[in-house]
Structures are given as C-alpha cells and as structure tokens.
Structure 1
Amino acid sequence: MTDTTFDGIREFVAAAQSLSFTAAGLELGVTSSAVGKSVSRLEARLGVKLLHRTTRRLILTQEGETYLASCLRVLDELAETQGLLTTGQQEPIGRLRVDLPATFGRRHILPTLIEMAVRYQKLDLSVSFSERLVDIVNDGIDLVVRIGTLKDDAEIVARKLGSQCLLICATPDYLARHPAPQNRNDLLQHDCIVGWRHGTRKTWMLIDENGQTVEQEVRVKHEMGDGEMLLNMTLAGAGLAQLPTWLVQDYIERGDLVAVLERYAGAEMPIHVIWPRTRYIQPKIRMIVDELLALAQRDSIIFRPE
C-alpha cells in the first residue's frame, strides 16, 4: 500500500505562495488542473479546506495559513539538512521569521541580521517590529528578541543577551518650567511620558533606599508606542521619561537631556532571544542565536552583561 502522507504538499505550498494554480503549475512543470487536483486530494485527506477558490485568485483559509507555516518550516529543515549532507558545511537556508522590539531592534539587532543575510545567500528574512509579547508558536515566528521579564513558558527557549539600564530624564527647558523631582512621589506631580501597554499599570522601575527594584506609580501625560517616539517626545520638552542608557547617553552628554532622581536610577531590564522549544533546533536558528550572543559580548556597553 502506497503511503500518501506527503502527497500534495509541494503543490499546496506552490499554490499558497503564488495564490494561483496556474503559477504553481508553471513553477512545478505540470498543468494547473494537476495542481488543483493534488490540493483537493490533500484537503480531503486532512478533512479541512486549505484554499478558497474564486474566479480571480486563491485565498488561504485560517487552516491553510497554519498548515502552510508548518509545511514551510519542515521544507526549510529538509533543505538545511540536505545542504549539510551534500557540502559538509552548516549554512542557514530558507525563511527565518524574526520579531524585534522596534527601536532597540532597528538599532542593535537588525544590522547583524542584514549582515548575515548578505553573507548567507540562501537565508531569507521576514522581520517585523512590535513591543507586544507575541505568541511565538501560534504566530509562526522562529525567533524573538524581547526586553523585560519573561513569564515561565514550557513551549519556548530563552537565552539572555544582557540587560539595559534605565534613567529618568527631561530637557533643560522642561525642568526650567517644572522644578526637578526630588523624591519618588514627586513623579505623581509631573508630566510623565510612558510606553504604551494595553491593560497594564503605568509604573516605572526604580531602585529604593535598600537597593531593591520597586515599581513606582507615575502621573501619565503621554503614552508612546515605541522608544523612538518616547525619545522624540522627551526631546521636545513634553515631560519626564524613563529611557535606557543606550538611547539617551549621547543626548545627556551634549546637554540636550538632564538625568533626574539619579539616586533611584540603575534599574535594569533583561534582554532575551527566544525561540520555540523543539527536539531539534534548526541550524539557521542556532547560528543566529550564536551570532547575537557574540554581538552581546562585543557590545557590552549596549547589552550590559551580568
């Protein structure tokens, strides 16, 4: 009896990526009708609809999107393994889906990813930027960099790259109009600019008199979606903001910003690289993780090692 487990996958992937049976047929060297029949047999075997057919184009169903992500991951792993067997060298092959924090990711992670994509021509990148805690498994993301404390999750693996140190600062103009805060509770009287987070308390992380990290309530004037927006709002003189040293140090040295409440400064937030837990880590993920760990060691001012 013939095993049909993998029948139709190649045709489905080609059709799903091009959203056309005709284009898929041209790619595979068969007729569009043959592609359509292969996909139909695959759908019947799975018991789900993967593609909606219209007169103009194909549309992936939700089940189709999930199945496509799984198929692409498996095909990428096969391609990487084949490359290793035929050349004897590990090389990242296939698409890598990465999600980064907006400002930190663009400034400090993306250049390394771009350099690797140029070095390894068979590596394809899909990079997105967000501050939210993505569902790395269900969203089909291969690698995530996140700043902040992580929740326990058995489905992910995390490696710490380092930490970022936080300062509270404002422009000299703002401080000329509003007396600089002298203690933590003064933050309830100031215009504070915070990062936007849905459904979370608006607090800053400070170091108390005993050297412990504490959460301090602040009076929120403005909420911004990422670090660049926070910085721009602060430089405009709109209020106080708590920002990482890697983002504001140059402005402080030039006098554009002034650090306040320095005796409470020094709170740190961990920086992790995260990927889904599997029995076998794909070579491309392992190589990117190794590269980011090496980057963190080189740029100790940015990543602040333990």
Structure 2
Amino acid sequence: MDQLSAMQTFRRVVDLGSFSAAAVQAGVSHTVLSRQVKNLERQLGTQLLNRTTRRLQMTEAGALFYRHCVQILEQMQAMTLELSEHQQQPSGTLRLSVATAFGELELGRWLPDFVERHERLQIELNCTDRFVDLLEEEIDVCLRVTDHLPDSSLVARRLAASEVLLVAAPSYLERHGRPTSPEQLANHPLLGYSRLTHPQRLQLSDPQGEQREVLMPRRLSANSPMALRAAAIGGLGIASFDRFIVHDALRDGRLVPVLDGWQLPARTLYAVYPQSRYLAPKVRAFLDYVQAYYAHARWAD
C-alpha cells in the first residue's frame, strides 16, 4: 500500500467530513477511499475513524495520526515546491472566489496589473454570493466583505475596512423628502438585500454612541447588490451599500448620502485561504499584492 497516498486520503476524508465528499474531490469511488482507510487502520493496528450512517468521528488515535499526517504532508509539499524550479515563480492556475458585486466593480481596477506581472499564472475566477467551501471546491483564495467570519481552520487576512452607507437618488428625495432622524426612516421604503437575516432592519449609531434600531417597510428585496444599486439609482427607495459598490455613483451625484451624522456598522474586506505552513508562490504573490493595494484608502470621497 502507498502509505503517503493513504495519508492523503485520510486527511481529505477528515477535512471534508465524509467519504462521499472526499471521493468526489479525488475523482474516485467511495469504495476505493474506504478500502484505503481500512487498510491503513489494519497496517497501524488501530481504528482511526468511528463510522455511523450519519457522521464520521475520529478516534483518539485518529486525531493523533491526523496531526502527524498534516505535518508530514505539508513538509512533503514544501520540499516539492522548493525543489521544483517551475515553482520558484508564481505559475499554474490560481482559483479565486469573490462576491459578484466585488468582481464586477473592483477586480477590473487591479487584476489586469497583477496578471501582467505574472505571465506564467492563469486565473480561474468564481463570482458568487453564496457561501463557498474553499476545501471542498479547491479554492485557493476567497475575497470576502463581511461583518462576521465563522470559526474555522481557514486563515483570514484583513485587507481593508469597508464603510456601509445609507443612500438614495436625488430624484427620490425630491419626491418623498429627506429624512432627518432615524425615526423618519420608518416612513421610507428600504431596498433590502434578501440574503441578510433581517433585510429590512437597520442599526444606526451617532458620534456620541447613541444607537437606534429601525425597521423600514419593504418595497423591493433582491439577492443581487448590483440590482439593488440600479433600483436605488432609479429612485425606487433608500438602500444601504458598502462604499465600494456606490463610490462612483456618489462621486457623480446619481446617489447621495442619507441621514448625515448617523452610521451603519462597518464591514471588513478579508482574504481567506486554507491554512498551510508553506504557501504556494502563486497564493503568496496574490496575497502580497492585494494587501499592498488595499493598504491605501480606495473608496475615499
């Protein structure tokens, strides 16, 4: 039995939580992977996994073996990369995942320059607003703008703060009046992002730290920030956006801020990637580039 291959299989099964998911990723049958792990257990003389119809759970010996697997496999990867002249420069395919609005509005500003700097690198871009499992979908780096990152084994590198603004079209405010207090927002429709838990609820704070929670009536909800942006520019109602989504529209006057002096909770732009002791040159080059790019304020007035 190829013990290194069996160790890779065991780690993949544990990371993905099932033989089925690991088999899909590896492109082999469930039976092949199950046999590999059973042979590994037989060779080691101990049970590594407790199997039920609903879940897999590592035994105490399995957890110990997993830790050693991770160390050995990452050392092998580091050695291979260091010895390979091909890998001394960023090369191969970089699999990148971003939210749709970020992909449409931000990538054009800097991705061409990054690609031109690394001629041996190809980009495979996945633009989606759904949750992406980086391990299962074999994504190298995900750029996320969020106010919360769930606990996980992934690494999250902070790149920039993302201010959230309440905005409307001048034409809307001319027809319906400009709200001057949080309470007056209840008389205006909110264009809500439907993927939020509470798309019609806003939490506002003033410079003195006073906080208000406002529930606004619904006129339009959508699962696309770009569709909501178009609706806001068209004068359909008030909406909240990350500044990068409406920066250009604010600059040319198609949208204007609403309720000066009150702020929505800011969010953060992160680069999220699988944990590894040795980053592939393509991943390291990308992370260094985006961190340097967003080290300077990009969405200031």
Q: What is the TM-score with the length of structure 1 in the denominator? A: 0.67
1:179 maps to 2:181: no
Deviates more, 1:162-171 or 1:276-285: 276-285
Shift of 1:114: 3.7
Pick closer, same or farther for the CA change 1:89–1:151 going to 2, 3 Å: closer
Shift of 1:255: 3.1
Cα deviation digits, residues 50-79 of structure 1 (max 9, x gap): xxxxxxxxxxxxxxxxxxxxxxxxxxx989
Partner residue, 1:269:
267
**Do the aligned partners of 1:79 and 1:93 also contact (CA within 8 Å) in 2?**
no
Give the superposed CA RMSD: 3.9
- Ranges in structure 1 where 5+ consecutive residues have no aligned partner: 10-15, 20-35, 48-76
Pick closer, same or farther for the CA change 1:125–1:81 going to 2, 3 Å: farther
Give the length in aligned residue pairs.
251
Partner residue, 2:241:
243
State the alpha-carbon separation in 2 of the partners of residues 279 and 213 from structure 1: 43
State the alpha-carbon separation in 1 of the partners of residues 267 and 79 from structure 2: 37
2:137 counterpart letter in structure 1: D
Partner residue, 1:221:
219
Shift of 1:97: 1.6
Deviates more, 1:209-218 or 1:96-105: 209-218
* Aligned positions of 1:1-306 closer than 5 A: 3=2, 84-85=82-83, 87=85, 90-109=88-107, 111-197=109-195, 199-208=197-206, 210-211=208-209, 216-265=214-263, 267-298=265-296, 300-302=297-299
**Do the aligned partners of 2:202 and 2:264 also contact (CA within 8 Å) in 1?**
no
**Do the aligned partners of 1:92 and 1:120 also contact (CA within 8 Å) in 2?**
yes
SS at match of 2:295: helix
**Do the aligned partners of 2:88 and 2:281 also contact (CA within 8 Å) in 1?**
yes
State the alpha-carbon separation in 2 of the partners of residues 262 and 184 from structure 1: 10
State the alpha-carbon separation in 1 of the partners of residues 121 and 210 from structure 2: 44
Shift of 1:157: 0.6
Cα deviation digits, residues 115-149 of structure 1 (max 9, x gap): 33343233232211122332222332221111112
Identical columns (%):
24
Pick closer, same or farther for the CA change 1:83–1:120 going to 2, 3 Å: farther
- Ranges in structure 2 where 5+ consecutive residues have no aligned partner: 9-23, 39-74
Shift of 1:261: 0.4
SS at match of 1:136: coil
